[in-house]
Structure formats: structure tokens, C-alpha cells
Copies of this chain bind each other. A is one copy, B any other.
């Protein structure tokens, strides 16, 4: 393997325990795919991953989502959602609608322009992801998905224990 492609996890592999090693490998892989996706969104659509992410959440829920729901689904803080929503609203891709049932809350929805922009990007995005994961067979993907599901549930339960 070419030396210049050797990163942290490859080097640490020798002397660390398997949990640490696996975690570093997850981090590295994730960062690779994320970087690639981000660059492509930037180059072809002059947008960013968090904007795309927020729009993707909304696209799945045509009735819109409240700020707090976005925050939970995207797993980022409320303040962060406020900022990204502000910008998407300035760009006319998203709008805040008053929630009739709760005067504290907003319902965020895609505008028609936002929906158009998103569907264009989403197709290409899916191609990039499919291409990235084409190395793995369907069976291997479901093996990994199943392991991740258990891991996720477990970490979430640890999370609750701390609280």
C-alpha cells in the first residue's frame, strides 16, 4: 500500500485494542465518504452537506417538521438548526410556517423552489453513495447495517444511563 494513503487508523492498527481500532476505522471511513460528498455538493450545486441534510429531512415529510424535530433527526443542537434554517430561508428554499397548535413553534417546509432544487441534487447524491458502497455486496451491506443497528441501540442506552 502506498505510504501516502496511510492514515491514522492504519498505523494505529498494530498496537491498539480492537474496539479502538474499529472506532478509528469507522471515523476514517466516515470522514472519507463525507469529504467526497461535501466536495461534490459544493462543486456541482454550490451547497453544503448540512443544508442538503436538512432539506432531505423535509422532503421525506411533506407536512413539514418543527425545529425541534429537525434537531432530533439531524442529531445536532437546536441553535445549529436555527442557523441552517435561516440561511435556507434567505435562499428561498425553505419557509417557517406558524404552528397553529403551539404558538411557540414553527413548522419548516420546503418551498416549491426548494423541492425542485432538492430532487435535482438527490438523484446525483444517491449515485455518489451507491458508487461509494459498490464495493460491498447486498449481503455484506445488510450484515453491516445489522451490526450498526445493535451498536446504535447500545450506545443510546448508555447515553440514557448517564443522564
Contacts and interface: CB of A to CB of B under 8 A. Distances in A.
A66 B8 CA distance: 14
A79 to B, nearest CB: 15
A33 B152 CA distance: 8
Contacts of A19: 126, 129-130, 132-134, 141
A contact face: mostly helix, strand, loop, or mixed:
helix
Nearest to A70: B8
Contacts of A151: 29, 132-133, 135-136
A27 B25 contact: no
Chain copies in the assembled complex = 2
Contacts of A45: none
A72 B158 contact: no
Interface of A: 4-5, 7-8, 11-12, 14-23, 25-36, 57, 60, 72-75, 126, 129-136, 138, 140-145, 147-156, 158-159, 162
Given A19-B130, A20-B126, 7 more contacts: A5-B156, A18-B138, A18-B145, A26-B26, A32-B152, A132-B151, A136-B150
